[in-house]
Chains A and B, each alone.
Chain A
């Protein structure tokens, strides 16, 4: 153990000692040099205009030191380099000299300069190319999944049924709670809206029409789609993203096994099967919620509500919603799996993939809903 020379608790100090008759400057370093206390800065100790051939050090009274002294010495050495002065390390402890050499070592790889700033036109062009690449990736992924489905139908690939049933289970009993809650509340909201508006015209009885049309054609499928995009789409992206980071997906590829067949197909088909069933369930729950409001606020009996509803809606209204459910299931599966498979390798990549999957899923669901409604209007369905 080294001696402390009785310098404990003495603050760090650096002062200039001119050697008479020589042009060398000696800096006397003393006291305890600690990062957490104010250590002298080289620029404050030595007047840059002072002429000298060399700068040396006297460390006889130097106590304990840490990086703060090293920083001071590096500042001194930089000054010497700039002014063409000799930096004399002979008075420094060996350890300090070694650390100074280590800090000066040339990196084995030199940092490359930042890329030049892009002009506005270049930025727009770059953004366009990125969007184009993303669109092409989506098309390629959709094509790969379609190819996989066709091979499955032709029995040229095997289905991983265990994975499939896990998805079915997760999107049946696992999703019923949230679907029930949201569908019930949406039915209640539609009914409240109907009660407020239709009552003014003495047409409160027609609340059942509004609830029936609203749930079967639009809200049942739409709300289920949005719930499942947030729940299952994000889960798909996170699962596959984690597998990408741990190179499990690469392992499939290098074995010559299609990760689409093994990972994407069971998830897609699981949702493809479950979404219409969930939509039908949501329709019934939503209509039950609407009936509760109508019975409570309009003095209608449940029988009157149901008979009004049955006289208004047709099977094609219900099937339109179910058909939407199928489409939304495909959209959620595609966006979740695609974003998962495109996950990067950094720590935030999985989170970004999950977010992107949800955003993409919901956006495409609403877009698809509008297109289907437009086509239904054209075809008078």
Chain B
């Protein structure tokens, strides 16, 4: 949540008004995380943290475990080993109340939007507000109108997801994700299935949310244009080594790649590939 005095600050910061842990503590901290599907090892020894107010990109080739890592970060899967610390709380081992509190403070934009097809756009955005707040119907309507306006969908409140384009569906899903003014926003492949203009517009929105609300943003993507445009820092998952092999700003990683995989990924090179 932003603060009035931030208007002069050169950097973005989130202020905690709900008595949460804040200060310089990272928004998310991943410690010795191992991910498995059954006995199949996906990734191991993942150690990184996401600072407040930064755009953190998880990148890697197809099948490298990016989306699986996202599922762990948003609580859809439990770590096989290790911890995911969200604002000082171990997400994987939190009790129901703690878990619900964490979920309430995060928003997720799924790869295909995942709007509820039986609900209008307004109802999609209103549902988390009705579920998590004590706002009355009029206040919820106002918040819904604001969120849809922020993503450029003013006037589309009564439309069903099936009646709008893919890009608009993603923006509507983003309106739902930011309904509760989350501290952390997760994006799974935000530009997938979008034309370059719509993808660029979504990148603009991501940057605007970071700048205006000071939201911490975690993006899973392999879209290089998007990575270089929005990322403050990026993490590279190496499918061959089954662990992370790079962490830093995209420009740093491109100029001083720590491995061939990272170099090839960031320069779109198929050199040395079978």
Contacts and interface: CB of A to CB of B under 8 A. Distances in A.
Contacts of A347: 116-118
Interface in A1-32: 1-5, 8, 32
A111 to B, nearest CB: 4
B156 interface: yes
Interface string B164-196: 010010000000000011000000000000000
Interface residues of A, dominant DSSP: loop
A44 interface: no
Interface stretch (A97-105, A127-135, A258-266, A369-377): A97-105
A56 interface: no
A108 interface: yes
Contact of A64 (B15, B152, B154): B15
Contact of A63 (B17, B24, B117, B133): B17
Nearest to A105: B152
A65 B4 contact: yes
Contacts of A2: 2-3, 5-6, 9, 13, 15
Contact of B168 (A62, A74, A109, A114): A109
Contacts of B134: 36
B146 interface: yes
Interface in B65-97: none
A8 B13 CA distance: 16
A177 interface: no
Contact of A103 (B22, B133, B146, B211): B146
Interface residues of A, number: 41
A329 B147 CA distance: 53
A344 to B, nearest CB: 8
A117 to B, nearest CB: 15
B98 interface: no
B143 interface: yes
Interface of A: 1-5, 8, 32, 34-36, 59-60, 62-67, 70-71, 74, 93-96, 98-99, 102-105, 107-111, 114, 345-348
Q: Rank and list the top 10 A-B pairs by shortest CB-CB distance, nearest first.
A: A93-B7, A62-B4, A111-B155, A64-B17, A2-B3, A103-B149, A66-B181, A347-B117, A64-B15, A346-B117
